[in-house]
Amino acid sequence: MELKNIFYFYKLKKKLMNNLFDEICVIGLGFVGLTTALSFTNKNFKVIGIDDNEDVINSLKKRKILFNEPFLRSKLIKAIKNKKIRFEKNLDFLENKNYIFFICVGTPVNAKSEYSLKNLHQTIDLIQKKIYKKGYIFIKSTVIPGTTKSIINSKIKNNNLKICSNPEFLREGKAWEDFNFADKIVVGYEDEIFKKISKQIYKKFNTKVTFVNSITAEFSKQLSNAFLSNLISFSNNFAILGEKLKYVDIKTAFNSLRLDKRFFGYPALISSYIHPGLGFGGYCLPKDIKALSKFSKKYNQNSFFEKIVKTNDQIFNMHLKKILKMTKTKDKIYILGLSFKEGTDDIRFSKSIDLVDRLLKNKYKNLILCDPLSYNNLINYYKLKKIIIKKIPNYEKNAFYILSTPYKKYVNFIKKIPKKQVIDTRYMI
């Protein structure tokens, strides 16, 4: 055999040995499933598309799509022409093959406002019965956090079957772009094999894969959708209030909101407001939302605003409780960042100050406050109290460090010290 051929066969053998699966099988061929299936064919994978609705299968075989979604038809024609896809109503697998499954069946919400997992469970039961070799399931359908874990614990009896969560974030009308040029791919797994498989299948998509556990992946999907519905309900809450107040030009009010420089990245990106922490503080936000909440009561439109105020108290109390549980009154505690946000020396109505006050009330004696800009304000505010005020924290083996206002240098500092000494209210590490 020529050297060239030996090299070719060696490469082929290596490739086959590294391949953890032979075929991709997509179950449920709606917006998510068909887009998933055709995107993989477009990256040269062989795909079996399965749907239990005969009309769906028959029309796809005839190159017809029963819903409207740009790009999919031409990709469907191409995939069928290149024999990259075949459509089946039933699951039937070859004995000598390992499969990857993308489950994209519907998860409608029932009358009790709970996801109906009937389709998902049915699909998993079927796969379990029908696979001969290995099967790796990616759940793309949207579910409540904890669903994948509970399926693993209660449903899976076949050791050859592994499951992970891989929520889908695409938008209808932009499904092709969103899948193929995704801003994020999240894979939540309990079994390490999914890291290898995900790298193999997603490497051609040029999007970084975020690996987490399955409950975090499911949580991320809920976070994303709830964020969007919240934005719309937030707007509508104001529209209802505006209608009730009369004479409010709702259109212009919303147009002026959309002109906010923060949407365009200056002075800060609006996304810098999307973070958990001790709660919002400062001179404006707390007082304004309280006043609006009280005022809107007259118009029965207060519950949304009241919830904003309540959540601010709830999160503060949650962190305080955590701190009181983790530390003792004699412990040395550094509080990192005292102004109500970065880049200002204003400590009025800062949640970090509230925290210091509550710790003092709880008889904590060794507090060290660190802030790069608020030194003078802190000296004035705490002049009668025995508190150390500094700009830069020192590392001490037995101290605790609470990150409250996340200056970069403080975040970098807590990244370098043992986690058990850190209370990160901003979830930065």
Residues that bind ligand NAD (CB under 6 A): 27-33, 50-53, 56, 104-107, 119, 122-123, 140-142, 168, 170-172
Q: Distance between CA atoms of 307 and 315, rounded to whole angstroms?
A: 12
E-only strand ranges, 169-320: 185-188, 209-212
Q: Coil, helix or strand for 66? A: coil
Least Å from the CB of residue 101 to ligand NAD? 11
Distance CA 340, CA 317 (A): 17
Instruction: Give the residue at shortest CB distance from ligand NAD.
Output: 30
- Shortest distance in whole angstroms from residue 106 CB to ligand NAD: 4
Query: Measured from the CB atom, is 183 or 192 closer to ligand NAD?
Result: 183
**Least distance between ligand NAD and beta carbon 169 (Å):** 6
- For residues 429 and 424, give the distance between their C-alpha atoms in angstroms, rounded to a whole number: 7
DSSP E strand stretches across 320-372: 332-336, 366-370
Minimum CB separation from ligand NAD for residue 140, in Å? Answer: 6
Q: Is the Cβ of residue 93 or residue 401 nearer to ligand NAD in the bound state?
A: 93
> In this complex, which beta carbon is closest to ligand NAD, that of residue 57 or of residue 389?
57
Question: Of 118 and 322, which has the nearer Cβ to ligand NAD?
Answer: 118
**How wide is the angle at C-alpha 301 spanned by C-alphas 300 and 305, nearest 5°?**
130
Q: Which helix (H) or strand (E) holds 220?
A: helix 214-245
Would you say 124 or 422 has its CB closer to ligand NAD?
124
Run of H or E including 164? strand 161-165
**8-state DSSP, 204:** G
CB of 119 or CB of 366, closer to ligand NAD? 119
Residue number, 121 or 391, with CB nearest to ligand NAD: 121
Closest Cα to residue 123, out of 156, 159, 172, 166?
Answer: 156
**Could you tell me the smallest distance in angstroms from the CB atom of residue 36 to ligand NAD?**
9
Give the pairing of strands 99-103 and 209-212: unpaired
What does the alpha-carbon distance between residue 123 and residue 346 come to, in Å, rounded to a whole number? 57
- Least Cβ distance, residue 64 to ligand NAD (angstroms): 14
Q: Tell me how far, at minimum, the Cβ of 132 lies from ligand NAD, in Å.
A: 20
**Minimum CB–partner distance for residue 213 and ligand NAD (Å):** 20
Q: Which is nearer to ligand NAD, 105 or 187 (CB)?
A: 105
**In this structure, which amino acid lies at residue 296?**
S
- Give the strands of the sheet with 366-370, arranged side by side: 388-390, 366-370, 332-336, 400-403, 422-424
Q: Bin 167: left if φ > 0, else alpha if -120 < ψ < 50, else beta.
A: beta
